């Protein structure tokens, strides 16, 4: 409930002002322009009003007090606070009181506070949402808004009903959910594009990464070779540069010596030049002095001539002054004679004036006595008239009060009768509401049990759905990983097959023999069985060990006869390059070893060694047992690998080699080989380097490819089954969710109905108590009013008798005043004649004084002129003497200056001779300087040539360094000591560099970042896919929320509209004493968008358009609609700003009666001019402007307010008297 309003600096309320609003109706009165409506503006402003026009201003700073010219300074901020009683916690804040404050500063800054804590405007609006409080809700009804409520469009009028229904907050949530849904759709679209793009990029990067690996191998070797070449060039250029620098140093030394001699010559020349400058300066100084001397002589001669002319003029001036002095002394004697005669006449006039003044004083004394007697008599008569007016005012006040009491007694009688009827109606409605409430509670309990069962079923179904989705995501991730692995296998298989097709790593001779065998296909070529590695089948993990065991024999050709061997040995078959041949049987032992390549030693291993090795813990197994071949090639494999054993460590291999006396070969898992002769092969060997490893890897990849395809088909089938199961589970969850939402809606509706019925029952109870109290109060007031009426009648009779007596005494006083007035007029004529005579004498005195004053001024002026003439004569004599002295001094000075002129001319001639000698000496030194400069230029030119050569060598050296740094980021100086001295021949290096560049060019464009990008893309693809699924689920959730909000909003709006409809009809008939009123929705429009039309027909009139209603009917219809909304959902308060202005006396009475019916639910703040409305006030405030432009709150009584709203001076003085002690107390406390 609204408790109080506090204002500081808001509009015309400059001082801190507080309005308390106790229960009931608070009425604010005051004359027009006193600031009453500023109270309404303050409430709107605190609640968040943003329209400056609605606040009757041009900008928000207009709400700040502007100051006055009388001394009130403008304020820099305005503040308003509304205090609410929150004991029932209707505002959702854990505090018994809620203080909502809005503050604005002249700088434009503003802030909102809730209980002193800063907040946003959105927080303030959310605080009041659903309570009926707001800037554009039904809690604030201002002037003009009553008619606007009827004339507004149905769509605009709908907002009030939405606020009453409490769905405005749902509407805001729906708008927010729709915005989020739009953003989710946009995000899904963008994310789908990104996923597709990343997936496409991932396929491309996998191909690029394979190419980048080969490119990196070539570039690393190219870098190594180019560094070696650059190091050689850098050393050579450094040696050449050293010799050039030595020659350059020698030339620069000679140049410095020659340059020093030239500098000495230049120094001597500079000394001579300085002396010449000094001599020239001396000559210029002496010539300047001589010039100034000549100017002084000329000037002094001119002054002397001017002084002589002044002496002649001054002699003439002295003669004129003597003549002027003589004339002035003659005129001064005549003026003194006339002044003595005028002084005698002035003394005679003064005597006559004293006699006339005495006569006037006696006449005026008599006149003043008559005046005082008249004033005394008129004062007594005025007191009688004031007493008579006071009696008339008292009689008029009593008559008015008597008339009001008559109306009040009649109104109270009707109120009692109406209250008794309302009590009967409330009792009947209470019984009906109690029955409906009990039935609604039973229905609510049943719906609660059903909702609990549905909640349990929904939880189980959602958990099963989550488990199925989790399993589906796991299968999809597994399938995605297998897709990636399958793609990698394809790329690797393609690469290995390409190497196999090009026979990469196989010698040219072997390649040629195999190609000839395939092409010829007859004769000795039929004995070729193929490449040895093509006949072997080895596991991938064992392939590096077999590669190590076979060594170069892995690319030998297997033959089944001796003809091919004999023809190759005899040179009958020509091949380019060496070829290794391996027979399938041992009959080739007879062939000379020089003709055939057979590196396999004859095995002399005894059986004991084999037994020992088979049981030794270091031995893994014999090499031929790790190879799978066709039966016909088993002897071949045993012959090649029968003496090679796989062991666990290199130390074990060395120990076993000593134990077998060199008859066996041993290979470790690290591909380390201990051969028959004890030599050891160390170092890692890449898997792709061996032919056996390549064959094994290709075979393993093909097998894995087949297995992966089978498993992917199984995974696709499993995913299909899971998806079908998930769809079924989703349908089940949706069905349970829909049933749950429907049950929740029914339960919410049932709770709302129950709550409404409980509130209705409580309202009916409160209303019954209020009506009972009103009836009792009306009866008491009726009794007191009847007694007061009898007293007023007796008082009027006594006042009429007193007025007759006072009127008679007033007439007697008027007669006596007329007699004294005649005597006063006679005395006035005598005094006037005396005053005229005195004025004539004073006028003659003034004329004589003026003449005497003129004589005095003439005498003073002539005296001043005489003194001035004497002063001019004295000044002229003094100036004559000064001019004569100046002429004598000028003659003496001229003689001295002529002597100085002759001395200066002699000195200048001597200095000119000295300057000529210095010029001759300088010419000799200049010849020596030119010779030295010529020699220096020759040396500098040679230095420049040598320096250019050194620069060229440095440029070549720097180019070598910069190119290596730009291409590879290598500082050549830092690798100088690390470079191997055993360098390859330059031509071989150049050829290898060209070969590497050719291979790099063949690769084409390479993306080296693909190697690092591949892992990032795979991780990003998995993350984006998960995000896409999450956003899809969020979209489904938002769609369900919007559907639920629409359903709840439709239901609540229709329930509210039906309830307000019934209340509006009843209140309209009560306010108009009949008629009918209804609220109608727009046809063929969704309930959530339909406007609300008002249909109102006063009693005894046909149905017509609302615009044809009178002003009073429109206002009363709007008030009835507003109170119908209150009756459904009361607001904490309602502000009515002069809404009763269009009402006549009868309508105001009905309006007040209607307000009383709502005091149990809400409180009213009414701004009015109507005294009829004031009679309903439980609290009455006055607002006035005792100080122009500053509104002030005053406590007033009913009789203190006039019909136009003005407040009596007595009330203002009483309010000031009440405030002064409070101010003294505050100052004392301070």
User: 16-45 pLDDT, tens per residue?
Assistant: 999 998 888 899 998 888 888 889 889 989
Q: Output the pLDDT for position 10.
A: 92
Q: What is the 3-state secondary structure (H, E, C) of 683-715?
A: CCCCHHHCHHHHHHHHHHHHHHHHHHHHHHHHH
The stretch 189-194 carries a mean pLDDT of 78
- Separation of alpha carbons 307 and 561, rounded Å: 155
Q: What is the DSSP string of 150-165?
A: HHS-HHHHHHHHHHHH
The stretch 1097-1115 carries a mean pLDDT of 70
The stretch 133-157 carries a mean pLDDT of 71
The stretch 125-142 carries a mean pLDDT of 73
- Separation of alpha carbons 885 and 862, rounded Å: 36
Backbone phi and psi for residue 1176, each to the nearest 5 degrees, phi listed first: -90, -5
CB atoms under 10 Å from CB of 999, counted, come to 15
Mean pLDDT of the chain: 78
- Separation of alpha carbons 114 and 97, rounded Å: 10
Q: Output the pLDDT for position 934.
A: 82
Q: Output the pLDDT for position 1227.
A: 37
Q: Output the pLDDT for position 601.
A: 44
For the chain, give the percent of residues with pLDDT over 70: 89
Whether the CB-CB separation of 172 and 130 falls below 8 Å is answered with: no
- The better pLDDT of the pair 606, 1228 is held by 606
Whether the CB-CB separation of 360 and 842 falls below 8 Å is answered with: no
- The better pLDDT of the pair 1132, 626 is held by 626
Whether 283 shows a pLDDT value over 60: the answer reads yes
- Separation of alpha carbons 318 and 969, rounded Å: 110
Average the pLDDT over each of 316-325, 690-699, 796-805, 942-951 and give the range with the smallest value: 316-325
The stretch 110-122 carries a mean pLDDT of 91
Whether 453 shows a pLDDT value over 80: the answer reads yes
Q: Could you tell me the two tokens for 675?
A: 């051969």
Whether 1229 shows a pLDDT value over 60: the answer reads no
CA nearest to 138, candidates 1132, 1142, 1090: 1132
Distances (CA, A) of 740 to 457, 696, 1000: 10, 63, 69
Most confident residue range from 350-364, 541-555, 638-652, 923-937: 638-652
- The better pLDDT of the pair 647, 359 is held by 647
- Separation of alpha carbons 39 and 26, rounded Å: 13
The stretch 871-894 carries a mean pLDDT of 74
Query: Where does 272-342 show beta strands of DSSP type E?
Result: none
The stretch 815-819 carries a mean pLDDT of 77
- Separation of alpha carbons 303 and 882, rounded Å: 13
- Separation of alpha carbons 1038 and 177, rounded Å: 6
Whether the CB-CB separation of 27 and 1173 falls below 8 Å is answered with: yes
User: 568-623 pLDDT, tens per residue?
Assistant: 776 666 666 777 788 877 544 444 333 334 444 444 445 666 777 877 888 888 88
Count Cβ neighbours within 10 Å for each residue of 731-740 and write b for 16 or more, e otherwise. Answer: ebbeebbebb
Whether 512 shows a pLDDT value over 50: the answer reads yes
Whether 699 shows a pLDDT value over 50: the answer reads yes
The stretch 483-499 carries a mean pLDDT of 74
Q: Output the pLDDT for position 573.
A: 66
CA nearest to 662, candidates 597, 593, 598, 602: 602
Whether the CB-CB separation of 1010 and 201 falls below 8 Å is answered with: no
In the structure, what pLDDT confidence band is assigned to residue 773 with cuts at 50, 70 and 90? Answer: confident
Sequence ranges of the domains in the chain: 508-590+605-687
Whether 101 shows a pLDDT value over 80: the answer reads yes
In the structure, what pLDDT confidence band is assigned to residue 72 with cuts at 50, 70 and 90? Answer: confident
Q: Output the pLDDT for position 170.
A: 74
Distance of CA 511 to the CA centre of its chain: 75
Whether the CB-CB separation of 1165 and 22 falls below 8 Å is answered with: no
Q: Output the pLDDT for position 79.
A: 94
Distances (CA, A) of 313 to 210, 309, 319, 888, 961: 123, 7, 11, 19, 103
Whether the CB-CB separation of 671 and 693 falls below 8 Å is answered with: no
Which CATH architecture is the domain 508-590+605-687 placed in?
2-Layer Sandwich (3.30)
Whether the CB-CB separation of 657 and 666 falls below 8 Å is answered with: yes
Q: Output the pLDDT for position 135.
A: 66
Average the pLDDT over each of 75-84, 144-153, 350-359 and give the range with the smallest value: 144-153
């Amino acid at each position: 409930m609204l408790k109080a309003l506090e204002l500081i600096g808001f509009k015309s309320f400059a001082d801190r002002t507080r309005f308390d609003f106790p229960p009931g109706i608070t009425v604010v009165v005051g004359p027009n322009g006193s600031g009453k409506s500023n109270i309404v503006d303050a409430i709107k402003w605190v609640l968040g009003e943003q329209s400056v026009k609605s606040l009757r201003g041009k900008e928000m700073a207009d709400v700040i007090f502007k100051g006055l010219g009388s001394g009130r300074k403008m304020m820099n901020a305005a503040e308003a606070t509304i205090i609410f009683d929150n004991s029932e916690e209707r505002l959702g804040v854990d505090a018994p009181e809620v203080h909502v404050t809005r503050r604005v500063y002249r700088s434009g800054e503003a802030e909102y506070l809730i209980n002193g804590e800063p907040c946003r405007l959105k927080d303030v609006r959310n605080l009041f949402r659903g309570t009926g409080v707001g800037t554009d809700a039904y809690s604030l009804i201002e002037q003009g808004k009553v008619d606007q409520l009827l004339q507004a469009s149905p769509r605009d009028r709908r907002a009030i009903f939405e606020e009453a229904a409490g769905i405005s907050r749902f509407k805001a949530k729906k708008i927010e959910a729709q915005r989020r849904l739009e953003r989710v759709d946009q995000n899904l679209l963008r994310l789908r594009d990104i996923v597709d793009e990343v997936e496409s990029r991932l396929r491309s990067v996998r191909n690029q990464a394979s190419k980048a690996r080969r490119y990196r191998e070539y570039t690393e070797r190219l870098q190594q070779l180019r560094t070696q070449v650059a190091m050689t060039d850098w050393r050579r250029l450094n040696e050449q540069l050293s010799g050039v620098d030595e020659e350059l140093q020698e030339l620069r030394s000679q140049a410095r010596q020659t340059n020093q001699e030239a500098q000495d010559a230049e120094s001597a020349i500079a000394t001579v030049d300085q002396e010449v400058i000094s001599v020239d300066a001396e000559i210029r100084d002496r010539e300047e002095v001589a010039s100034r001397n000549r100017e002084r002589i000329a000037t002094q001669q001119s002054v002397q001539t001017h002084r002589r002319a002044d002496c002649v003029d001054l002699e003439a001036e002295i003669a004129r002054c003597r003549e002027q002095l003589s004339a002035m002394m003659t005129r001064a004697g005549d003026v003194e004679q006339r002044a003595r005669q005028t002084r005698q006449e002035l003394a005679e006039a003064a005597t006559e004036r004293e006699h006339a003044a005495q006569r006037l004083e006696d006449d005026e004394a008599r006149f003043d006595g008559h005046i005082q007697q008249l004033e005394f008599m008129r004062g007594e008569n005025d007191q009688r008239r004031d007493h008579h007016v006071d009696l008339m005012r008292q009689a008029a006040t009593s008559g008015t009060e008597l008339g009001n009491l008559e109306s009040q007694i009649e109104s109270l009688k009707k109120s009692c009768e109406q209250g008794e009827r309302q009590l009967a109606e409330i009792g009947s409605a209470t019984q009906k509401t109690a029955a409906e409430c009990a039935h609604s509670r039973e229905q609510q309990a049943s719906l609660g049990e059903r909702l609990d069962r549905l909640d349990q079923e929904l939880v189980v179904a959602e958990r099963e759905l989550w488990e199925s989705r989790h399993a589906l995501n796991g299968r999809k991730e597994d399938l995605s990983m297998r897709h990636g692995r399958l793609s990698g296998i394809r790329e690797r298989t393609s690469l290995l097959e390409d190497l196999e097709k090009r026979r990469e790593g196989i010698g040219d001779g072997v390649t040629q023999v195999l190609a000839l065998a395939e092409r010829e296909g007859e004769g000795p070529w039929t004995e070729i069985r193929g490449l040895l590695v093509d006949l072997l089948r080895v596991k991938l993990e064992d392939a590096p060990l077999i590669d190590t065991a076979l060594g170069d024999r892995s690319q030998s050709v297997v033959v089944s006869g001796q003809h091919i061997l004999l023809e190759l040995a005899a040179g009958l078959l020509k091949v380019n390059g060496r070829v290794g041949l391996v027979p399938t049987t041992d009959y080739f032992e007879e062939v000379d070893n020089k003709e055939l390549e057979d590196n396999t030693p004859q095995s002399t291993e005894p059986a004991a060694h084999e037994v020992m090795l088979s049981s030794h813990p270091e031995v893994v197994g014999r090499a031929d047992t790790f190879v799978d071949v066709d039966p016909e090639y088993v002897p071949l494999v045993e012959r090649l690998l029968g003496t090679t054993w796989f062991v666990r460590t290199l130390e074990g291999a060395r120990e076993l080699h000593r134990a077998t006396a060199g008859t066996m070969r041993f290979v470790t898992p690290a591909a380390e080989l201990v051969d028959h002769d004890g030599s050891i092969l160390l170092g890692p060997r890449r898997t792709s380097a061996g032919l056996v490893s390549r064959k094994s890897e290709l075979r393993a990849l093909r097998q894995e490819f087949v297995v992966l395809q089978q498993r992917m088909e199984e995974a696709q089938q499993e995913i299909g089954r899971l998806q079908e199961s998930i769809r079924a589970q989703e349908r089940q969850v949706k069905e349970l969710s829909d049933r749950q939402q429907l049950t929740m809606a029914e339960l919410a509706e049932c709770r709302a109905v129950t709550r409404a019925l409980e509130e209705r029952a409580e309202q009916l109870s409160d209303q019954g108590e209020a009506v009972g109290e009103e009836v009792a109060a009306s009866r008491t007031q009726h009794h007191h009013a009847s007694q007061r009426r009898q007293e007023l009648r007796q008082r009027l009779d006594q006042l009429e008798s007193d007025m007759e007596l006072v009127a008679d005494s007033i007439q007697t006083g008027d007669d006596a005043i007329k007699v004294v007035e005649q005597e006063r007029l006679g005395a006035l004529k005598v005094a006037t004649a005396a005053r005229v005579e005195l004025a004539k004498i004073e006028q003659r005195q003034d004329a004589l004084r003026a003449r005497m004053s003129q004589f005095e001024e003439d005498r003073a002026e002539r005296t001043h002129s005489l003194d001035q003439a004497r002063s001019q004569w004295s000044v002229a004599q003094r100036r004559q003497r000064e001019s004569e002295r100046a002429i004598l001094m000028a003659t003496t000075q001229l003689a001295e200056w002529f002597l100085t002129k002759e001395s200066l001319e002699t000195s200048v001639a001597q200095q000119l001779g000295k300057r000529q000698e210095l010029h001759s000496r300088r010419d000799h030194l200049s010849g020596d300087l030119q010779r030295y400069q010529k020699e220096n230029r020759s040396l500098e030119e040679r230095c420049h040539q040598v320096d250019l050569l050194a620069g060229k060598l440095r440029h070549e050296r720097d180019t070598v360094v910069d190119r290596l740094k730009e291409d590879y980021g290598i500082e050549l100086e830092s690798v100088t000591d690390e470079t191997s001295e055993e360098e390859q021949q330059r031509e071989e290096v150049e050829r290898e560099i060209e070969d590497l560049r050719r291979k790099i060019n063949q690769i084409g464009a390479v993306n080296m970042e693909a190697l690092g990008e591949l892992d990032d893309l795979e991780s990003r693809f998995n993350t984006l896919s998960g995000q896409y699924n999450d956003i899809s689920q969020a979209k489904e959730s938002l769609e369900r929320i919007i559907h639920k909000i629409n359903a709840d909003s439709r239901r609540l709006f229709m329930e509210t509209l039906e309830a307000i409809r019934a209340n509006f009809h009843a209140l309209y008939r009560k306010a108009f004493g009949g008629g009918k009123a209804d609220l109608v929705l727009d046809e063929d429009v969704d309930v959530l968008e339909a406007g609300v039309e008002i249909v109102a027909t006063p009693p005894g009139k046909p149905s017509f358009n609302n615009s044809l209603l009178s002003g009073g009917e429109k206002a009363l219809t709007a008030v009835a609609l507003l109170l119908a909304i209150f009756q459904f959902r009361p607001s904490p308060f309602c502000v009515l700003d002069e809404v009763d202005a269009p009402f006549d006396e009868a309508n105001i009475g009905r309006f007040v009666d209607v307000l009383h019916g709502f005091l149990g639910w809400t409180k009213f703040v009414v701004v009015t001019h109507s005294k009829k409305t004031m009679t309903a006030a439980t609290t009455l405030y006055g607002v006035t402007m005792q100080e122009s432009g500053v509104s002030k709150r005053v406590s007033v009584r009913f009789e203190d307010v006039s019909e136009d709203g003005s407040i009596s001076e007595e009330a203002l003085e009483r309010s000031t008297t009440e405030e002064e002690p409070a101010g003294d107390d505050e100052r004392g406390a301070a």
